[in-house]
Amino acid sequence: MRLPLAREGIPFVLVCVLVAAAALLWARSGGWGLQSAVPALSLALALFVAYFFRDPERTSPADPGVVVAPADGKVVGVGPVEEPIGGSAERAATRISIFLSIFDVHVQRAPLAGRVTEYSYRPGRYLAAWHPEAGRINEQASLESETDAGPIEVRQIAGLVARRIVTYPRGGDRVEKGERIGLIRFGSRVELLVPRDWRVTIRPGDRVRGGATPVALARGGTARGERS
C-alpha cells in the first residue's frame, strides 16, 4: 500500500519527529511552563509538516478529452495569452492560474496523457504566488507535452516562501492523465496553458483538485464532472 505522503516530505517529517522526541526527553525533568510546552509545539509542527506533504490518491475522469486540474487550489485567473505552447508556431493560448496556499495539497499532476516534449527551468524572483506578475518573473519550471488533442504546458511557479520546485518527468517521458509530475514546497502557483479553441469549464474563484477536477474540454471532449 502506498504511503499517502510525498517522498520529498519524509525527511522533514522525520526531523520534526526527532525534535519532538528530544523535547519530550528534555521535558521529563519536570515542571510546567516552557519545558512542558516545547514537546507539544514540536509535535504540532510534525503533524502540520505531515499534513502539508500529504499525497492522496485521485481518480481522473475516463474521457480522454477532459482536461483535469494540474494542482489543488483556488483558480485566480483564466484568460487568453499571446504565447506559443509546446513549441507550436500558433501564439494563441488560454492560461489557467491556480494559487496553492500552505493548506493545499502541493503535489502536481498531469492534466492529460501525452509525451513530454520539453522540460525547462528558469530562475527568478519570489513574489507572493497570488501576485499577477508572479507567473512572469518568479522562479519556475515548465513541462511542455504533446497530447492526442494538441499541445499543453504546465508551469510550476515558486512563491514568497516556496524555494524548492521538484519536477519528475523530462523530455521524452510518457505521462498519463492524473499522474504525479512534481511538487512545490510551501505556498506556490501552478499555471496550465491550453490551445485557445479548447473550452474552459471553470472560472476564477473556483476551487479545484489536482488530477480530479475537470478544467477544460479538449477537441472532441464531451464529459464533465468530477470523480474522487
pLDDT digits (tens, 9 = 90+) for 103-153: 899 899 999 999 999 999 988 766 666 666 666 777 889 999 999 999 999
Q: Which three cell numbers stand for residue 102?
A: 500552505
Let me know whether 72 and 128 are in one domain.
yes
Q: Among residues 60, 97, 145, 188, which one is catalytic?
A: 188
Residue 161 is predicted with a pLDDT of 62
Query: Is residue 95 domain-resident?
Result: yes
Question: H-type helices in the chain, by residue range?
Answer: 10-27, 34-52, 134-137
Let me know whether 150 and 47 are in one domain.
no
Let me know whether 149 and 44 are in one domain.
no
Query: Is residue 94 domain-resident?
Result: yes
Q: Where are the beta strands (DSSP E) in the chain?
A: 66-68, 73-81, 93-100, 107-109, 114-122, 140-147, 150-158, 165-167, 174-175, 180-184, 188-195, 199-200, 207-208, 214-217
Q: pTM score > 0.95 for this model?
A: no
* Residue span of the structural domain in which 122 resides: 66-217
Query: Is residue 224 domain-resident?
Result: no
pLDDT digits (tens, 9 = 90+) for 47-86: 888 888 888 999 999 999 999 999 999 999 999 988 878 6
Let me know whether 47 and 15 are in one domain.
yes
Q: What is the DSSP letter of 7?
A: G
Let me know whether 43 and 74 are in one domain.
no
Let me know whether 41 and 97 are in one domain.
no
Let me know whether 14 and 73 are in one domain.
no
Let me know whether 132 and 154 are in one domain.
yes
Let me know whether 48 and 76 are in one domain.
no
Let me know whether 162 and 123 are in one domain.
yes
Whether 188 is catalytic: yes
Let me know whether 27 and 87 are in one domain.
no
For the chain, the maximum distance between any two Cα atoms, rounded to a whole number of angstroms, is 70
